[in-house]
Amino acid sequence: MKVLFAAAEAHPFIKTGGLADVIGALPKALKGAGVDVRVILPKYKGIPEQFRSQMESVAVLDVPVGWRNQYCGIEQIVYDGIPVYFVDNEYYFGRDGIYGYMDDGERFAFFNRAVLECLPSINFQPDVLHCHDWHAAVVPLLLKAHYRHIPFYSNMRTVFTIHNLLYQGVFPYSVLGELLGLDSSYFTSVEYYGNVNYMKGGIVHSDHVTTVSPTYADEIRTAYYGYGLDGLLNSRADSLSGIVNGIDTKSYNPNTDSKIFTKYRSNLAKKAENKLGLQQELGLPVAPYIPMVAMVTRLVDSKGLDLLTRVLDELLYYDDIQFVLLGTGDESYERWFREAAWRYPTKLSSQILFNDALSRKIYAASDIFLMPSKFEPCGISQLLALRYGSIPVVRETGGLNDTVHAYNEETGEGNGFTFKDYNAHDMMYTLRRAVSYYHKPEHWKKVTKNAFAGDYSWSVSAQQYIDIYDNITE
């Protein structure tokens, strides 16, 4: 089985969120199961020099973008045994950042067409093109419209994965002909309130659609979570699967992680040494028995931060806890958490930045990890927290509902604490319940033992993807 992953980002080359973690880890799990898997990405200006210097040119070609042809270079590195191709065009990708430009429709139309156009030149004929999120969503459409009649492409099949339905890639109608080279007969399959919707094209034209958790697969078929595509997703229900993401358990391993203060396997006393180290580093009172609550998150509305800002003052004023927050995002949230840290200097540390080493220290040091998300397609942070023995407090939505199970003091089952309604006081009650169990060692040992015992690797999920590949290529 030969599979090509097409995506806009991948760890460790370029990353803005969980998509990059998936593209960085899932191919390795598939390779371990015997799949010949490769990855193709844009060659962004922001890719570190340590990787750019290793890239070797493997092809130069012209790529049609509507009525014009654009230069395309294909460069390659092999990273952890996975061949990774980079689509080079300075005009489109030689910029700061990845997304957010007025011509994103054109930039990613070029990328989608380049994915297909370069395959003969790199001498790779995949059985499956696995396309991720809106940035690669029109590959299945372009394959059908421009390439299916060519023998080299005739047997290729497509899988489209939705990582976050909120971001769909919606552009003006003119994109259809000007950039994709398609006539009006294709408009119905990408039409969205008179515009062209790249993600809709991926859903309509792919052989199978997946998303990143079973609960999210159900949620996006409702009007509340479907963002205008719920009817379409319901029409494809028979070929829609929810598969939970995993994490790179080799990289994220508290027993071998060189970036944390003290390595540990599942020893809570050793884990507590990380709390002391982080308290000292962040200028918080060094107190091993005070529960530390943490968030590592983008500071955006969907992460449930409006719930937290409503009750955090009450929590910090009345409760004997420490709170550590790491992340960047909306200016209003950044300013709020900076000011809150000024008000509670001995209880709250607001780290308004992103730092991978510090995030690992926080996972290792914290006792409780808070994720009150409004929606969460899968979530990586709760899996990392569980891996490091930081007990999640989450809202029952998306992948959080599939991976975090409420602790039951009678049976000793469960690896976290959950609440259902999007309500600030429900969140606060659940967080206080978790803190109460932190102070009951016999229970805390059980819930952390359950967390440490979980399998958060990609192995099970990788096999589910292989089953889909096998099914659509039969």
Give phi and psi for 42, each to the nearest 5. -70, 150
Structure tokens at 81: 């045994």
Structure tokens at 289: 């028995």
Give phi and psi for 95, each to the nearest 5. -130, 160
Alpha-carbon gap, residue 425 to 295, rounded angstroms: 18
Walking along the chain (474 residues) 10 residues at a time, the average pLDDT comes out as 98 90 95 97 97 97 95 97 98 93 97 98 98 98 97 98 96 96 96 97 98 97 96 97 93 96 95 98 97 96 96 96 96 98 98 94 98 95 97 97 97 97 98 98 97 94 97 95
Q: Which residues of 47-60 are buried (b: 16+ CB within 10 A; e: fewer)?
A: beeebeeebeebbe
Provide the Cα torsion 269, 271, 272, 278; round to 10°: 160
Domain map (residue ranges) of the chain: 2-246+459-473, 268-453
The strand pair at 56-65 and 68-79 is best described as antiparallel
CA–centroid distance for 28 within its chain: 16
Can you give the pLDDT at residue 224? 94
Look at the block and give the residue holding tokens 């955090």.
312
Can you give the pLDDT at residue 458? 94
- For the domain bounded by 2-246+459-473, which CATH number is listed? 3.40.50.2000
CA–centroid distance for 273 within its chain: 30
**Cβ 198 vs Cβ 168: under 8 Å:** yes
- For the domain bounded by 268-453, which CATH number is listed? 3.40.50.2000
Look at the block and give the residue holding tokens 């510090």.
358
Give phi and psi for 65, each to the nearest 5. -125, 95
**Cβ 309 vs Cβ 334: under 8 Å:** no
Alpha-carbon gap, residue 180 to 68, rounded angstroms: 11
Beta bridge partners of 14: 10
Alpha-carbon gap, residue 107 to 179, rounded angstroms: 9
> First-to-last CA distance in the chain?
11
Cα–Cα distances (Å) from 397 to 143, 420, 422, 448, 467, in that order, read 35, 8, 10, 22, 26
- Amino acid occupying residue 123: N
* Length of the chain counted residue by residue: 474
Can you give the pLDDT at residue 140? 98
Can you give the pLDDT at residue 354? 86
Residue 18 contacts by C-beta under 8 Å, 6 or more apart in sequence? 163, 245, 378, 379, 380
Among 362, 379, 452, residue whose Cα is nearest residue 416? 452
What is the sign of the dihedral through the CA atoms of 88, 91, 93 and 96?
Answer: positive
Structure tokens at 98: 């990845």
Q: Do domains 2-246+459-473 and 268-453 have the same CATH topology?
A: yes
The strand pair at 82-88 and 36-42 is best described as parallel
DSSP letters, 250-261, are TTS-TTT-TTSS
Cα–Cα distances (Å) from 286 to 130, 308, 432, in that order, read 48, 24, 21
Look at the block and give the residue holding tokens 């409006």.
306
Q: How many helices (H) and strands (E) does the chain have?
A: 19, 18
Among 214, 121, 118, 155, residue whose Cα is nearest residue 1? 155
Coil vs helix vs strand at 192: strand
Beta bridge partners of 231: none
Alpha-carbon gap, residue 36 to 339, rounded angstroms: 51
Strand order of the sheet with strand 2-6? 56-65, 68-79, 82-88, 36-42, 2-6, 128-132, 157-162, 208-211, 240-242
Can you give the pLDDT at residue 287? 95
Look at the block and give the residue holding tokens 């918080």.
284
Alpha-carbon gap, residue 280 to 409, rounded angstroms: 33
